[in-house]
């Protein structure tokens, strides 16, 4: 089945509800409605909040569209109704706003919690004890959520897991290499957390005099950023570099990751200060550029992508990284490449 064939049912699933919504908006501006607005307003409100959302659900339930889209679609219907139905005829709509929005929030939260519990149960039943936790969790979430939602859910669970629950030290296998002990990058990130903490307190005190609401929003965002940094810092020792049988897995905790088949590696060298450049095809594994103090550089024959915890993947043909035992890493990798 071609991509074009797949797109048509999905397009129809969105197009029909949009046409129905447009029809209601046109009806609300017609002379027929103006002559009978007291009688028609209640029926049109029901169409906005029940009829069209139900039609949308029936259209998407067997398509490659997440059922989670029902919630934002319903909210969009309520917003459109609020702007198009005359204010004096919005009694039913106002009642719906009071009761419907909390019900939607509780329902979405309940579904997410249920799926999270299911994901954790599946993970515990199927995961290999030697498998990387984040990779296994992401694969599990993909079986329960749409791809984008799966990554967000996996990220949040893993950040909490690495940051506040996983205190067990891992023992590196002969084909695994740490990449944090000698670089000083984790010390830099830890310092950033303290800076965020100081900034959070200072900004909160300054903003409180202007707007307490804005002050608390900024404080919560800063606090959340600090939690993310803690999770990333503590994930780095738990996710070492791995030299596999036919590929190389390079990670910097949860922050970034890339997999390079041995057949795609052109050469590997020790890096120095002159190895770092700002060319488009040059990337550093930890994303911190020269702060990483890279001591290895890998050249690939074709562009490969560096995946991030958030944001779009970035292509590279030259990747700089830090490896604690760089001599053994280079020797082991070259041994594989020679075969």
Assign residue 286 a region (left: φ > 0; alpha: ψ between -120 and 50; beta: otherwise): alpha
Parent domain of 76? 3-89
Q: What is the pLDDT along the chain (339 residues), one digit of tens a residue?
A: 444 444 466 677 778 888 888 988 888 888 888 888 777 888 888 888 888 888 888 887 777 676 667 777 888 888 888 888 888 888 888 887 777 767 776 776 676 667 667 666 665 565 554 467 788 778 777 776 677 777 887 888 888 888 888 777 888 888 888 888 776 677 777 777 777 777 777 776 777 777 777 777 777 777 777 788 888 888 888 889 888 888 899 998 888 899 999 989 888 988 877 777 777 788 888 877 666 778 889 999 999 999 888 778 888 999 988 888 889 998 888 888 887
Residues 329 and 209 in one domain: yes
What is the C-alpha to C-alpha distance for residues 252 and 243, in angstroms, rounded to an integer?
15
DSSP class of residue 68?
G
- Based on the fold, state whether residues 66 and 186 are members of the same structural domain: no
| Residues contacting residue 123 through CB under 8 Å, at least 6 positions apart | 136, 137, 140
Going by their DSSP bridges, the two strands 265-270 and 256-261 should be labelled as unpaired
Q: Is residue 151 part of a domain?
A: no
Same structural domain, 79 and 192: no
Position 170 scores a pLDDT of: 80
Beta strands, E only, 160-211: 176-177
Question: Domain boundary at 61, 89, 117, which?
Answer: 89
260 in any annotated domain? yes
Residues 6+ apart with CB under 8 A from 35: none
Residue 141 lies in a domain: no
Q: Which pLDDT score is estimated for 250? A: 92
The domain tally of the chain equals: 2
Residue 289 lies in a domain: yes
Largest CA distance in the chain: 85
In a domain, 269, yes or no: yes
Q: Has residue 140 been placed in a domain?
A: no
Classify each residue of 309-334 as buried b or exposed e, where b means 16 or more C-beta atoms within 10 Å of its C-beta. Answer: beeeebebbbbbbbbbbbeebbeebe
Boundary (domain end) residue, out of 89, 110, 140 = 89
pLDDT of amino acid 124: 59
CA angle 239, 240, 246 (to 5 degrees): 115
pLDDT for 216: 77
Name which of 86, 104, 9, 107 is nearest 49 in CA terms. 104
Q: How far is CA 248 from CA 182, 245, 255, 262, in A?
A: 21, 8, 17, 7
pTM for this entry: 0.62
pLDDT at 128: 52
Q: Quick check: is 95 in a domain?
A: no
Look at residues 319, 151, 308 and name the one whose alpha carbon lies nearest to residue 248: 319
Q: Which of 89, 112, 132 is the last residue of a domain?
A: 89
């Amino acid at each position: 089945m071609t991509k074009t064939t797949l797109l048509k049912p999905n397009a129809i699933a969105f197009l029909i509800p949009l046409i129905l919504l447009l029809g209601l908006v046109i009806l609300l501006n017609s002379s027929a409605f103006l002559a009978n607005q007291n009688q028609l307003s209640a029926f049109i409100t029901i169409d906005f909040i029940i009829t069209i959302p139900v039609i949308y659900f029936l259209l998407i339930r067997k398509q490659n569209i997440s059922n989670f889209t029902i919630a934002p679609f319903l909210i969009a219907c309520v917003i459109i109704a609020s702007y198009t139905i005359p204010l004096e005829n919005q009694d039913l709509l106002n009642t719906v706003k009071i009761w419907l929005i909390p019900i939607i929030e509780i329902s979405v939260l309940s579904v997410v919690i249920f799926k999270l519990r299911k994901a954790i149960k599946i993970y515990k039943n199927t995961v290999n004890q030697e498998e990387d936790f984040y990779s296994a969790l992401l694969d599990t979430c993909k079986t329960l959520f749409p791809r984008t939602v799966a990554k967000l859910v996996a990220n949040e669970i893993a950040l909490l897991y690495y940051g506040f629950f996983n205190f067990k030290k891992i023992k590196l296998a002969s084909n695994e290499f740490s990449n944090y002990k000698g670089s000083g990058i984790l010390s830099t990130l830890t310092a950033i957390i303290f800076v965020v903490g100081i900034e959070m307190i200072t900004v909160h005190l300054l903003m409180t005099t202007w707007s307490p609401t804005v002050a608390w929003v900024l404080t919560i965002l800063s606090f959340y950023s600090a939690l993310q940094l803690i999770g990333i810092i503590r994930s780095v020792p738990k996710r070492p570099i791995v030299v596999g049988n036919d590929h190389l897995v390079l990670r910097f905790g949860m922050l970034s990751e890339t997999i390079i088949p041995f057949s795609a590696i052109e050469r590997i060298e020790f890096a120095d200060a002159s190895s770092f450049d700002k060319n488009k095809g040059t990337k550093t594994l930890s994303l911190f550029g020269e702060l990483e103090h890279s001591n290895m550089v890998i050249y690939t024959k074709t562009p490969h992508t560096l995946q991030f915890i958030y944001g779009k993947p970035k292509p590279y043909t030259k990747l700089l990284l830090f490896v604690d035992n760089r001599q053994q890493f280079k020797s082991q990798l070259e041994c594989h490449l020679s075969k």
